[in-house]
Structure 1
Amino acid sequence: MRRIRQDPVFRELPIGEYDVLFNLSRCPTGWTRLNELNNSLLISQPSLSRMVDRLEAKNLIRKRPAESDQRGVELALTDEGRALQRRIGSAHVHRIHEVLAPALDPAELEQLKALTDKLNAGLP
C-alpha cells in the first residue's frame, strides 16, 4: 500500500479523496446518501463531511438535500469529478498491476480478483 500511495498520480488528488470519487462512480443512479457512502470508506463521518466540503469546493462533487428525507444529504460526481476519477483510476489500476505482477502469475492474479469479488459480494 505504501508503494501504491506514493504513486505520482495521487499528487493531483490524495488517495482518500480519490476513494470518495471512486465510490461515487459506482452508484447506479449517480447519487448516494452521505451516510451510505460512509459505509464504504474507512474514515469517520465528521472526516468524510469535511472531505466532501473540500471536494465540492474543487467542483468534483455536488450535494443536494435527500429527496426522501430533507435532513439527509445526497452526493454525486460532477462531470469534472467523473473525468478526474477515470484518469486517476486508469493510472491506479496500472500501478496496482505493476506492484502485484512480479509476485503473482496471471492465473494467480485472476484467482485474487475472483476472491476479492467474492468477498465484496458477500459483505453487507
Structure 2
Amino acid sequence: MGRSTSRLANDAWEALLTAHAVLIKQMAATEVWNELSMREYDVLYTLSKCPEPVRARELTRHVLLSQPALSRMVDRLIGRGFIARDPDPADGRGVLLSLTEPGRAIQRRVGGRHAVDIACLVRDRLDPAELRTLEELCHKLATDDNEETS
C-alpha cells in the first residue's frame, strides 16, 4: 500500500528541508563569504531587488531573520556604508532603507561569485528538465494565497 497524501506531503517537505540544509552548508564552505556573511548578503540582495527604498517591515517579509536580528544587521550594514537609512517623506516617523553605491557594488561582486557556486552545485545534480520542474514547483510552493487575494 502506498503512502497517504499527508505522509507523502510530510516526506516531501522533509526532503526539501534536507536538500536546502545540505546545499547551504556546501555554499557556506566556499570562499565567496570573506567580505560578507550569507545573511548579510541576503539582506543586500533583497534590497537590490527593490525598485525603490523600502521600510524595514517590508524587508522583514523577504529575509529569513527575526525583526530584532534584522534591525541589528541593518545597523551593522549601515555602519559599513552598504545601506542608507533616510526619513520617509510620506511619513516623518518612518524610515526607508536602500543600498548605497558601495552596497550595490559588493552585492554584485559577491553575488556574481555566489551565482557561479549555485550553478555548479545544482546543475551537477539535476538535468535541465529537472531544473525546470524544480523551479516550477518552488514557485508554486512560494505562492501566498493571501497575497494574491488581497
**Could you tell me the TM-score, scaled by structure 1's length?**
0.89
1:25 paired with 2:62, answer: no
Q: Can you list the C-alpha shifts for 1:1-42, whole angstroms capped at 9, x where unaligned?
A: 10012221112100000000000001122x111111011112
**Could you tell me the TM-score, scaled by structure 2's length?**
0.75
1:73 is aligned to 95
Higher helix share: 2
More relative contact order, 1 or 2 (CA 8 Å, 6+ apart): 1
Provide the C-alpha distance between the structure 1 equivalents of 2:26 and 2:64, rounded to a whole number of angstroms.
19
Residue 37 of structure 2, aligned match among 6, 11, 14 = 14
Provide the C-alpha distance between the structure 2 equivalents of 1:118 and 1:28, rounded to a whole number of angstroms.
24
Provide the C-alpha distance between the structure 1 equivalents of 2:140 and 2:72, rounded to a whole number of angstroms.
32
1:96 is aligned to 118
Moved over 2 A (4+): 113-120
Provide the C-alpha distance between the structure 1 equivalents of 2:68 and 2:90, rounded to a whole number of angstroms.
22
Identity %: 45
- Structure 1 residue 92: deviation in Å? 1.1
Mapping for residues 39-54 of structure 1, pairs under 5 Å: 39-54=61-76
- Structure 1 residue 86: deviation in Å? 1.0
- Structure 1 residue 55: deviation in Å? 0.5
- Structure 1 residue 82: deviation in Å? 0.6
Task: Determine which structure has more spread, i.e. the larger CA radius of gyration.
Answer: 2
Give the RMSD, CA atoms, in angstroms.
1.4
Provide the C-alpha distance between the structure 2 equivalents of 1:46 and 1:69, rounded to a whole number of angstroms.
22
Consecutive unaligned residues of structure 2, counting only runs of 5 or more, are 1-23
Q: Secondary structure, in 3 states, of the residue corresponding to 2:62? A: coil
